Structure 1
Amino acid sequence: MELNSIKPAEGARHAKRRVGRGIGSGLGKTAGRGHKGQKSRAGGYHKVGFEGGQMPLQRRLPKRGFKSQSLKFNAEVTLTTLERLGLAEVDMLALKQAGAVNAIAKVVKVIKSGTLTRPVKLIGIGATAGAKAAIEAAGGQVA
């Protein structure tokens, strides 16, 4: 094979449709644009969502809702999860390795859901007021 003998695959290339080139082409006179109207004219078209002057749907509907993009970096851990882990010291890395929180989590907080019987020391992890009381009651501490 030589560079001067390379050709595209059969059927890969086809002739461009030439409009407005006379009756014999099948696309003469109006060139496939129909008769009159905005869509038949050069440069004449409307913006996306335009409804002919009627108030567009995106303006008729009320604005509502917001979803924070930073929420995906926050995670919650329950007291039951801490109980199940069975570790004396719990930090972010331990929770990620155990699969208790997502790998992309940056902020972890313990919430008071369930019970805790064994003492647990939290390192670099926040806790709600109720969860902190429950951890300290079980003999643990929140650092």
Structure 2
Amino acid sequence: MAFNIDDLKPTPGSRKRSKRIGRGTGSGMGKTATRGHKGQGRATGKVSARFEGGQTPLFRRIPVKGFKNRDAVEYATVNLSILEERFESGSEVTPEILLKMRILKNLKDGVKILARGEITKSLNIKANAFSASAKEKIESAGGKAEVI
């Protein structure tokens, strides 16, 4: 028994006929064509989740507090106590080395050295900023504080 291309048919039940809407009242899907009656959802579809029926929305009723200064410089900070623990006397400390040793996760806008803790080793520290007391402690221990 040979098959021809015109003998091929889909398996019964595998293909569902599409709904023919808007084809008269006798079809059961005439008149409004399954779209319901007039209303807000008719023209635009759905209303956004934040819409409150014309009432002033919550995000406009709540006052705005504070602001974010776009020009503010945010430093990644390192204390002298950490430098004392992790570095040998006479070694150089730079932001790249601090990243490599995982003392810092990211450099942000630069590195600032703060004075918490004591330092006894003479270190050559290069950073974007130093607190006054940190600079004083580094230089009194025989080290160098260099601003990049």
- TM-score normalised by structure 1 residue count: 0.68
Structure 2 unmatched runs, 5+: 1-14
Q: Give the conservation status (yes or no) of the 8 Å contact 1:74–1:107.
A: yes
Tell me: CA distance 1:115–1:49, structure 2 relative to 1, closer, same or farther (3 Å): same
- The structure with the largest alpha-carbon Rg is 2
TM-align CA RMSD: 3.5
The match for 2:100 is 97
Separation in 2 of the partners of 1:135 and 1:55? Answer: 58
Please show how residues 1-143 of structure 1 align to structure 2 within 5 Å. Answer: 19-23=21-25, 27-40=29-42, 42-43=43-44, 49-66=50-67, 74-87=75-88, 88-143=91-146
Separation in 2 of the partners of 1:68 and 1:15? Answer: 62
Separation in 1 of the partners of 2:40 and 2:96? Answer: 63
TM superposition shift of 1:128: 0.6
Tell me: CA distance 1:89–1:14, structure 2 relative to 1, closer, same or farther (3 Å): farther
TM superposition shift of 1:60: 0.7
Tell me: CA distance 1:79–1:19, structure 2 relative to 1, closer, same or farther (3 Å): farther
Separation in 1 of the partners of 2:24 and 2:107? Answer: 64
Separation in 2 of the partners of 1:15 and 1:77? Answer: 71
Specify the SS of the correspondent of 1:76: strand
Separation in 2 of the partners of 1:94 and 1:84? Answer: 15
- TM-score normalised by structure 2 residue count: 0.66
Q: Alignment identity in percent?
A: 41
Q: Give the conservation status (yes or no) of the 8 Å contact 1:19–1:27.
A: yes
Separation in 1 of the partners of 2:39 and 2:25? Answer: 22
TM superposition shift of 1:71: 7.8
Structure 1 unmatched runs, 5+: 1-12
TM superposition shift of 1:110: 0.5
Separation in 1 of the partners of 2:114 and 2:16? Answer: 66
The match for 2:6 is none
Separation in 2 of the partners of 1:115 and 1:16? Answer: 80
